[in-house]
Amino acid sequence: MTVEETNLKGCFVVTPKIIRDKRGYFFESFTKAQFEAKTGIMANFIQDNQSKSSAGVLRGLHFQTEEFSQAKLVRVIKGKVLDVCVDLRKESATFGKHFSIILDNIKHKQLYIPKGFAHGFLVLDDDTIFSYKCDNYYNKTSEKGIIYNDKTLNIDWGFPKENLILSEKDKVLPTFETYSNE
């Protein structure tokens, strides 16, 4: 596996070593010892989640607060997404900056998103299966979000707005400014 830190401190792209032959392929999707050695992060993932979505579905930007904050290791099992994370750590030099990457079932790259980040993804292929490990349990009362089309964040989703499919909850999330003034 190779690990490369993004422009956001503590946020890493993880690329597995894929062994391909006439039967198909094999790779280790997560090895705790290698991950910790290459990132310096002591991973303690305790929950795995998976979703299936159609092209145009946008989920996010979501995060949990305080003691329920979550670090995530995200990947695509089938299909393709534009994955986006936003640094919400107010003391960080990259507070309010975002990173985006295409994750798919061809290259099998993963994104490690540290605690203190918002996360969202736009599904680019029908029947996409998205999976992620979390280092904390989901807690509904600590769940928050930021609207996907926030003007301050200026995220280029590269997809026609009229074709996006959002949950009712995601359509009315507050702005980044609202969050940053809390």
Please identify which of the residues 62, 108, 119, 179 carries the catalytic annotation: 62
Is 119 catalytic? The answer is no
Kindly give, in sequence order, each residue whose CB lies less than 8 Å from that of residue 126, ignoring residues fewer than 6 positions away: 54, 55, 79
Is 148 catalytic? The answer is no
Please identify which of the residues 132, 138, 148, 179 carries the catalytic annotation: 132
B/e letters for 12-41, b = 16+ CB within 10 Å, e = fewer, are bbbebeeeeeeeeeeeeebeeeebeebbeb
Residues marked as catalytic: 62, 132
